[in-house]
Amino acid sequence: MSSERRHFDVAIIGAGINGAGIARDAALRGLRVAVFDKDDMCTGCSWISSRLIHGGLRYLEYGEIPLVYESLHERRYLRRNAPHLVTPLRICLPIFEGARRGPLLIRLGMIAYDILSIRKTVPNHEMLDSDEIREEEPGLRKEGLRAAARYYDAQVAFAERLVLENLLSARSAGAEVFTHCEVAAIKTVDGAISAVTYVDRKDNTAHEVSVTTVVNAAGPWVDRVLQTAPVPSKRHIGGTKGSHIIVGKFDGAPHDAFYVEAAADGRPFFIIPWNDNYLIGTTDIRYDDDLDNVRISAAEVDYLLSETNRVFPDAKLTAADIHYAYAGIRPLPFQEKGPESAITRRHIIKVDKNVAKGLISIIGGKLTTYRHLAEQTVDRIAKLQHRKLPRCRTRDSLLPGASGLERAEERLRALQLLSEEGVERILSIYGGRASGIGELCAANEALARTIDSSDMVLAAEVVFAIREEFAKSLTDIVFRRTMVGLAADQGRPLYSAIADIAVDEFGWDADQRSQQLDELVNFSESLRVA
């Protein structure tokens, strides 16, 4: 083991949205920060969400009014600080005869939602009668349709990029990011955090760094991380499984997103236009099995298909219509009994002083509220370290891609390489940072070309992912940087071309190229529905 003996004020374990947000806040306030993840960033629960930035309308049912209020205001901050990634989304909530939630209850919930989102930048809700909603959404089931509510939330099409931009901001403020590096041990001296050891999974070398505080933001793996500490801990996480399916446009498909009460169990689920497809989910099932190999079940597929076909009867969707599916575990607090939907979605910042002084574990948390969770966590770190830190800056600070959008667009158009859809695609992924891709094209003629038949993907994006966005594998590049892996075809026609570019940049030999392609194809296949 190499002992680098570098010192960090904070070591964050987990590079999902919570870990990335905490790293950004801590680094911006002057702390020396290291972030570790055993895989790439955003490979856990952050990427398996419904990709919504929302207040959580259904949380009103469980009296979690503070959570809804917090979420709605965080939605506003994200719309302002990441407009290239977070966009308004109109959602329709149909009300059918026999539903658990009737028009009056829905109307009251909508009024409360509007009140709690004071100073919002989207319109208030509206109620539509059955004729009005049928006229606008002719594919919607007519039988038993009583009315509908329509309201606005927001969507983050690529949660991966939101995580990445938080990490990029953290890095520019001095943080160091160690992806594909698994923390093997949390060390203590006299009961206080002293160091962490980690293994670089790319070359299996072991390293150790000195730290004062450890933030365990490993999501579903929180309890596994705690097992690396010298003192045992009680169970923190009692996760539930959530699965989504992705299908193409179907007969009768809606124009807006739909939030529907399932007939089978009364649980709401979404049908959302997303990435030129439809994202349908989610399920909510208690889960205690292997966290590293979570797959959608046949029962979940049947549930999501049948409920969608019930609401949009012309769809007639079958498993053969599913492009791919993803599933994962929500890191909710452990609760032995009670319905899954009633488990709180509030985050818990647990100071694990019984395990080690200076250890914090993050339990739960929503994509929408990550920034506020990070602010609260760094405030807690300051108290633990008896330090007076500058105030949090993230509420009013733009993420890296939020500035320079006009200049980036001009630079992309000046290349005269991309289709109109290609320009829009790159801006929606990189925002103002797309100027850097244009600079690569100008500096290297070999990168100034598209690699797809629709002229939407630039060769320079691959090099940009490696040089500027710490991608270390083909899977990193395809699924979490260029985002071509989330297309209907999973970007498969581009795998070989991307590999050829990456080979030159990484210096891989033929065997390494082949291994990387195998790993990429295997990951793609793992998302297929049998």
How far apart CA 35 and CA 470 sit, in angstroms, is: 13
Please check the confidence at residue 3 and state whether its pLDDT lies above 60: no
Give the model confidence (pLDDT) of 361-407 as tens digits.
999 989 999 999 999 999 999 999 999 999 999 999 999 999 999 99
Q: Are strands 205-216 and 2-13 parallel, antiparallel or unpaired?
A: parallel
**Does a cis peptide bond (omega within 30 degrees of 0) precede residue 179?**
no
At residue 339 the predicted structure's pLDDT band, cuts being 50, 70 and 90, is low
Q: In degrees rounded to 5, what are phi and psi of residue 391?
A: -65, 160
Q: Determine the residue type at 518.
A: D
In the three-class reduction of DSSP (H, G, I as helix; E, B as strand; rest coil), residue 113 is classed as helix
Listed in sequence order, the residues at least 6 apart from 26 whose beta carbon sits closer than 8 Å to its beta carbon are: 9, 10, 12, 33, 170, 175, 374, 378, 381
Give the model confidence (pLDDT) of 270-305 as tens digits.
999 999 999 999 999 888 888 998 999 999 999 999
The structural domains of the chain, with segments of one domain joined by +, span 2-45+160-233+344-396, 85-155+239-339, 404-526
How far apart CA 441 and CA 446 sit, in angstroms, is: 8
Please check the confidence at residue 342 and state whether its pLDDT lies above 70: no
Structure tokens at 173: 């403020």
The DSSP-derived string for 304-360 is HHHHHHHHSTT----GGGEEEEEEEEE-PBP-SSS-GGGS--S-EEEE-TTT-BTEE
Same CATH fold assignment for domains 2-45+160-233+344-396 and 85-155+239-339? no
Please check the confidence at residue 447 and state whether its pLDDT lies above 90: yes
What average pLDDT is seen over the chain? 94
Whether 163 contacts 41, CB under 8 Å: yes
For tokens 């770190």, what's the residue? 381
What integer is the mean pLDDT of 511-525? 98
Cβ atoms < 10 Å from Cβ of 286: 14
H or E element, residue 441? helix 434-443
How far apart CA 56 and CA 65 sit, in angstroms, is: 10
How far apart CA 473 and CA 503 sit, in angstroms, is: 10
* Residue 1 C-alpha from the chain's centroid: 34
Q: What is the pLDDT of residue 151?
A: 96
Query: In a 10 Å sphere around its CB, with 0-12 CB exposed, 13-18 middle and 19+ buried, how is residue 396 labelled?
Result: exposed
Q: What is the pLDDT of residue 63?
A: 83
Q: What is the pLDDT of residue 530?
A: 72
User: In this structure, which CATH number among 3.30.460.80, 3.40.605.10, 3.50.50.60, 2.40.30.10 belongs to the domain 2-45+160-233+344-396?
Assistant: 3.50.50.60
At residue 338 the predicted structure's pLDDT band, cuts being 50, 70 and 90, is low
Whether 454 contacts 422, CB under 8 Å: yes
- Superfamily for domain range 85-155+239-339: D-Amino Acid Oxidase, subunit A, domain 2 (3.30.9.10)
Q: Determine the residue type at 156.
A: V
What integer is the mean pLDDT of 306-326? 98
- Superfamily for domain range 404-526: Alpha-glycerophosphate oxidase, cap domain (1.10.8.870)
Give the model confidence (pLDDT) of 192-214 as tens digits.
999 999 999 999 999 999 999 99
Give the model confidence (pLDDT) of 120-164 as tens digits.
878 899 999 999 999 999 999 999 999 999 999 999 999 999 999
> Looking only at Cα atoms, what is the longest distance across the chain?
71
Q: What is the pLDDT of residue 233?
A: 86
State the pTM of this model.
0.96
